[in-house]
Amino acid sequence: MVGHVEIGIRYYGKTAAIGKEAVYTSFLVIAVPVVPTGCWYGVRSGNMCDHMTGRRIRFHFRSVLLGYLRWGAVVAPVAAFCYAAPNANHADWNLQYLVLSIIFAAMYLGLFFILVKASTRETRQRRLLHQVVQSTVNPDWLKAPDCQRVIDHLRPVLESLAIPLDARHWELREPDPELAPFVYAMARYMRPLEPHNDWDAVAQRIWSLMEGSGVAARLSAVPE
């Protein structure tokens, strides 16, 4: 802080939250967020939202947008309320601007309640991933080297379960229910590594099979 002007790196734009973990964007702040400096997944702390425990991820447009909206969206309801209040121009409350202020405030709160938490489907998918790789991060947010490290760590498990690291093998085959979560996690983390292979189709098909059999609901219901 310099005088009453906040200056520094702060983390805003909370979104896609599961439990205490969420996506945030770090901003250079000079009273208001000026420039995004990176996106992160983890837990934010500190009275000034200035500490982050987690990992850096790819650019997350929704988080950046919410980081700015956190400040910009407040202006409209506050300005409308101030204009509605009795002042030198009118002695009574201006009901039109008062209603407008309430509408803006409701939109602001609704926007953040809707966008802060991950959707039900995404929550189930990321919680299921947690059962395999002990992380609720969405693999699509990670850079290739981060995905590669997860695959390298998972490889001995896949080999012990006789799960081939080959997208073509899983185009039509259906894994046993107890192996399906490992195949799904493998497909999700292989997708950024081998975009030319159809890992996305594999992941979607395996997820549909797990949903149909109830495996997805059972595993995703386990707290991370």
pTM: 0.82
- Reply yes or no on whether the pLDDT at 1 is more than 50: no
- Helix 180-190 × helix 199-213 angle, to 10°: 150
Amino acid 76: pLDDT: 72
Least confident of 42-46, 200-204, 206-210: 42-46
Higher per-residue confidence, 47 vs 185: 185
The mean pLDDT value for 151-158 works out to 96
CA dist 198 and 207 (Å) reads 15
H runs (alpha helix) in the chain: 61-84, 95-116, 120-133, 144-160, 180-190, 199-213, 215-220
CA-closest candidate to residue 209, choices 169, 175, 168, 162: 175
Residue 109: its pLDDT value, please? 75
211-220 burial code (b ≥16 CB/10 A, e <16): eeeebbeebb
pLDDT on residue 8: 87
Can you tell me the distance from the alpha carbon of 102 to that of 77, in angstroms, rounded to the nearest whole number?
A: 7
Per DSSP, the three-state class of 140 is helix
Tell me the mean pLDDT in the region 12-35.
Answer: 91
pLDDT, residue 77, reads 77
Tell me, what's the pLDDT at 2? 46
Q: From 141, 149, 111, select the one nearest 39 (Cα to Cα).
A: 141
Is residue 104 predicted with pLDDT exceeding 90? no
Which of 61, 143, 140, 69 has the alpha carbon at shortest distance from 108? Answer: 69
Per-residue pLDDT, 98: 78
Domain ranges in the chain? 7-116, 120-220
Summarised one tens digit per residue, pLDDT across range 49-102 is: 778 999 999 999 999 988 888 776 677 777 777 777 776 666 677 778 778 778
| Residue 110 pLDDT | 72
pLDDT for res 4 = 60
33 or 141: which leads in pLDDT? 141
Give the Cβ contact number of residue 79 at 10 Å. Answer: 14
| More confident of the two residues 72 and 156 | 156
A 10 A CB-CB count for 136 gives 22
Contact 63, 15 (CB under 8 A): yes
Most confident stretch, 94-103, 150-159, 172-181: 150-159
Per-residue model confidence (pLDDT) at position 201: 93
User: Tens digit of pLDDT for each residue in 25-45?
Assistant: 999 988 888 999 999 999 998
For the chain, give the mean pLDDT.
86
